[in-house]
Structures are given as structure tokens and as C-alpha cells.
Amino acid sequence: YSSPVYSLPHNEGRALMSIKASFSNVANVLLDWDDDHNHDFCSWRGVFCDNVSLSVAALNLSNLNLGGEISPSIGDLRNLQSIDFQGNKLTGQIPDEIGNCGLLVHLDLSDNLLYGDIPFTVSKLKQLEFLNMKNNQLTGPIPSTLTQIPNLKTLDLARNQLTGEIPRLIYWNEVLQYLGLRGNFLTGSLSSDMCQLTGLWYFDVRGNNLTGSIPDSIGNCTSFEILDISYNQISGEIPYNIGFLQVATLSLQGNRLTGKIPDVIGLMQALAVLDLSENELDGPIPPILGNLSYTGKLYLHGNKLTGPIPPELGNMSKLSYLQLNDNQLVGTIPSELGKLDQLFELNLANNYLEGPIPHNISSCTALNQFNVHGNNLNGSIPLGFQNLESLTYLNLSANNFKGRIPVELGRIVNLDTLDLSCNHFLGPVPASIGDLEHLLSLNLSNNQLVGPLPAEFGNLRSVQMIDMSFNNLSGSIPMELGLLQNIISLILNNNHFQGKIPDRLTNCFSLANLNLSYNNLSGILPPMKNFSRFEPNSFIGNPLLCGNWLGSICGPYMEK
């Protein structure tokens, strides 16, 4: 039943005034809440009355920057069906009296600073369908009495400081559709009872302290569309029965799962997102994962996966994110990955991959980020890379790449990071690198590059970091580097640079980290005052350079 409870209108006006009184920051937003000058509280901001009974049916005070507390007088508004206080700065505890609003259907207190326990009296709200208290500072347990709310469809308690176990009774609710518990301190294990939630589509316990294993019966949770149990301490193997799930998102990352990736996952074609990263999974990547032709995101990074990258992954035609980094993968990069024309990010870093980068990778024209750092790859940079116009991040560092740096790299104009460090690149630094006007970080260190530093580097107007150290570069430091107004780190040590340090370098006001040590620089340091902020370590190992450090040709007299 939901017949209105009789309550005198002037009592409701008084209740509203005491609710206002316990708020702060009301000056501008609740100006019309004033029963001396306006008795018609049904016209007050955020107050909505029932047409017949003229009593308050809804209070919508969301996003008004209100501070202070929720007054216990809220319990005097017996005909309230909806409270929306979302997005304020309300603090204090949720008053027990809220349980007196017996007709409440919708209760949203999310995005506030409320603390203390969730009052047990909430379970008296038998009409409640929507309960959202996420993003507060609530502590204590999830009251098991919440299970006494027969029509609860949405329960969102995410991002609080709730402790204790998830009450098992909560799982015996055929009506519940949305269970959001992410970002609390919940303990205990997942119960096989969770699949009694036969109407649930969203199950999210990400970022708690749950332990134990994934229940074998998980496959019975057939109504789930999203299953997110990531960032807990769940251990054991991924059960075979997971293959019975109909989920679009399966997030198991950041746990302690062991054993192999079960082949059955390759049959879960409804998967849009599969994230098994940051676990302790071993064994090979099952080639049958290539069957997942509707999956857009595949994250397997941060495990102990061995064996090769299956060429079958090239059949995942909808794939936009593929992260296999930080495993123990061997073999070559399959050229079949070139078929992934929607691929946005490819991260294969920190494995044991060898051989060259297949030319076909240049066909992944949607590619934005390409990272193969820390493998044993060899060969040269495929010339086709110049066609990857969307590329913003290119990291080939710490491999065995050789050959020249192609002039054509200068055509990938959207690059913000170019890292070719710790390889065997030789020959000159192409002047075309200076065309990469969006570049933020350029690292060509630890190669065998020769010749001068191109004056065109002065065109890198956004660049914050240039590292050319440990090469065989020579010539003078171009004065055009003085044009770099955003540069923070300029690392040129261990080369053969000669001549004077250009005075114009003192125009780089954001420069905080300068290393010119171990070159053949000569002359005196730029006399400008701001250059004295650099320690002698920035300049040592230049025998002909004059500066104020011990051992310099014109340095302070060495005391005995």
C-alpha cells in the first residue's frame, strides 16, 4: 500500500525550516525557504508537493553546494517519495529518522561527506527501489537488514569506508538489478549465493579486500552483464564454469589468480572487455581467444604468461586495446596483428620477444600508442610507420634495433613521446625530428648516433624532455635550443659536443635539469645569473670548460 500518511501542512513547513537550519551555505540557494514571507512551501526551490494532499512528495536539492547536516526533521516528511541531496558537501551522520519516511522510493545521498554507519532504520523503507550513498565517508558494515527492502533495484554504496563482509542475505534478492560496492574495505569471500541475484545485471566489488576464490558456481550468474571483482585478493584458478557467463565485461584484474587462462573464455563472444591483468596467471595465451571477434579490450598484462603471441589474435577484428606487456612471452610479433585496423593501443613491453617488427603493423592505421620497450627485438624501424598518422606514443627502447633513424619519422606529426633509447641505432639524427611540433618527450639516448644535434630541434616548441646522452654526437650545441620555452630536462652528457655553451640557453626559463657532462665543451659558463642554479655535476668531464667548481681550469683554488 502507498496511501499518504496524514500530516499537517504547517508541520511540514516547520520541518523544512529546521532542515534548512541544519544546512549551511544556504544563503543564496534556499532564499525562498522562508515561512515568515512565503507560507507556500510547495513553491520553494527543490520542494515538490503531491497535487492532492499538498504534502511534500519530493526534495531535490542536488548539486547546490550545501554544507551542514541532514536534520532528523527529515523524518517528519512522512509522504516523501524521493530525496535527492546528491553532489553537496553534507557532513555528519545520516539521521535514523530517515527510516520514518515510509513511502520513499528514491533516496540519493551520493557525493557528499556523510560519515558514520548506514542507519539500520533504512530497512524500514519498504517502498525503496533506489538507494545511492556512493562517494561518502560511511563506515561500519553493510546492514544485513537492507535485505528486508523487498523492491530494492539499485544499491550503490561505492567509495565509502565500509568494513565487514557482504551480507549473504543480500544475494537472495530477485529484484536487485545493480549492486555497486566498489572502493570500500569489505572483507570475506565471494559466496556462491551471489548467483541467486537472478535479476542483477551490474555486480561491482572492485577495490575491496575480498579473499578466497571465485566460486565454482559462478556460471549460474547468467543475468550478469558486468562482473567486476578486480583489485581484491582473490586467489585460486579461474573456474571452467566462468564460460557460462553471458557478461559483456569480465574484470578480474589486480587479484592473485593463478593457473592457466581457461580455453573456455574463447567461447564467450559476448565479451566486450576482458581484463585478466595483474594476476599470477601462467601458461600460454590460448589461441582460441582469437574467436572473440566482438571484444574491444583485451588486457592480459602483468602476469607470468609464457609461449608465443598467438597469430589468431589477429582475428579479433573489433580490438582497440591489446596489452600483453610485462609477461614472459617469446617468439616474434605475429604479422597477423596488422589486420587489427581498429587497434588503438598495442603494448608488448617487457617480454622476451625477438625478430623484427612486422611491416604489416603499419596497416594498423588507428594505432595511437605502440610500446615494445624491453624485448629482444631487432631489425630496423619499418618505413611504413610514417603512415601511422594517429600515433602519439612510440616506444622502441631497450631492444636490439639497428640501422638509421628514418627521416620519415618526422611525418608522424602527432607524436608526443618518441623513445628509441638503448638500442643500436647509428648514423645522424634526422633534422626532420624537428617537425614533431607536439613532441613532449624525446629520448634517443644510449645509441651510436653521430653528427651534430640538428638546429631544427629549436622548433620543438612543446618539448619538455630531450635526452641524447651516451651517443657519439659532435659539433656545437645549437643556440636554437634557447627557443625551447617548455623544456625541463636537457640531457646531452657523454657525447663529443664541443665549443661554447650558447648564452641563449639561459632563455630556457623552465629548464630544471641540465646535463652537459663528459663532452669536449670549452669556454666559460654563460655568465647569466639564472645559470648558476645548475650544480657542477651538470658540467664535469669537460676539461676545457671554465666554471666555479673544483678541478675546473678556472675553478676555485684547491685547498690542501
> Which residues lie near other proteins (CB under 8 A)?
110-111, 134-135, 156, 158-159, 180, 182, 201-202, 204, 219, 222, 225-226, 228, 240-241, 243-249, 251, 264, 267-273, 294, 296-297, 321
When the beta carbons of 205 and 337 are compared against other proteins, the nearer one is: 205
When the beta carbons of 229 and 460 are compared against other proteins, the nearer one is: 229
Cα–Cα distances in Å, from 331 out to 314, 353, 356, 421? Answer: 16, 5, 11, 22
When the beta carbons of 85 and 457 are compared against other proteins, the nearer one is: 85
What is the distance between the alpha carbons of residues 390 and 217, in angstroms, rounded to a whole number?
Answer: 44
Give the list of residues 6+ apart from residue 265 with CB closer than 8 angstroms, or none.
238, 242, 243, 250, 271, 274, 286, 288, 289, 292
The burial of 207, by beta-carbon neighbours within 10 Å (0-12 exposed, 13-18 middle, 19 or more buried), is given as buried
- In angstroms, what is the minimal distance from the CB of 177 to other proteins? 11
Give the list of residues 6+ apart from residue 21 with CB closer than 8 angstroms, or none.
71
> Whats the size of the chain, residue-wise?
560
Chain centre to alpha carbon of residue 432? 33
- In angstroms, what is the minimal distance from the CB of 349 to other proteins? 17
When the beta carbons of 221 and 281 are compared against other proteins, the nearer one is: 221
When the beta carbons of 110 and 443 are compared against other proteins, the nearer one is: 110
What is the distance between the alpha carbons of residues 276 and 291, in angstroms, rounded to a whole number?
Answer: 17
When the beta carbons of 115 and 202 are compared against other proteins, the nearer one is: 202
- In angstroms, what is the minimal distance from the CB of 304 to other proteins? 23
Q: 166 and 143 in contact (C-beta within 8 Å)?
A: no
When the beta carbons of 245 and 473 are compared against other proteins, the nearer one is: 245
DSSP symbols for 407-456:
GGGGG-TT-SEEE--SSEEEEEPPGGGGG-TT-SEEE--SSEEEEPPPGG
Query: For residue 462, how many other CB atoms are within 10 A of its CB?
Result: 15
What is the distance between the alpha carbons of residues 402 and 529, in angstroms, rounded to a whole number?
Answer: 42
When the beta carbons of 219 and 331 are compared against other proteins, the nearer one is: 219
- In angstroms, what is the minimal distance from the CB of 548 to other proteins? 45
- In angstroms, what is the minimal distance from the CB of 379 to other proteins? 32
When the beta carbons of 67 and 243 are compared against other proteins, the nearer one is: 243
- In angstroms, what is the minimal distance from the CB of 138 to other proteins? 14
- In angstroms, what is the minimal distance from the CB of 129 to other proteins? 17
Query: For residue 510, how many other CB atoms are within 10 A of its CB?
Result: 11
- In angstroms, what is the minimal distance from the CB of 219 to other proteins? 7
- In angstroms, what is the minimal distance from the CB of 135 to other proteins? 6
Q: 191 and 168 in contact (C-beta within 8 Å)?
A: yes
**Element spanning 249, H or E:** strand 249-251
When the beta carbons of 114 and 491 are compared against other proteins, the nearer one is: 114
Closest CA relative to residue 44, chosen from 72, 71, 13, 78? 13
- In angstroms, what is the minimal distance from the CB of 248 to other proteins? 5
When the beta carbons of 205 and 477 are compared against other proteins, the nearer one is: 205
- In angstroms, what is the minimal distance from the CB of 273 to other proteins? 5
What is the distance between the alpha carbons of residues 420 and 404, in angstroms, rounded to a whole number?
Answer: 11
Give the list of residues 6+ apart from residue 168 with CB closer than 8 angstroms, or none.
191, 193
Grid coordinates standing for 498? Answer: 664541443
Q: Three-state SS string across 79-128, please?
A: CCCEEECCCCCCECECCHHHHHCCCCCEEECCCCCCEECCCHHHHHCCCC
- In angstroms, what is the minimal distance from the CB of 220 to other proteins? 9
When the beta carbons of 113 and 554 are compared against other proteins, the nearer one is: 113
SS3 354: strand
What is the distance between the alpha carbons of residues 104 and 131, in angstroms, rounded to a whole number?
Answer: 10
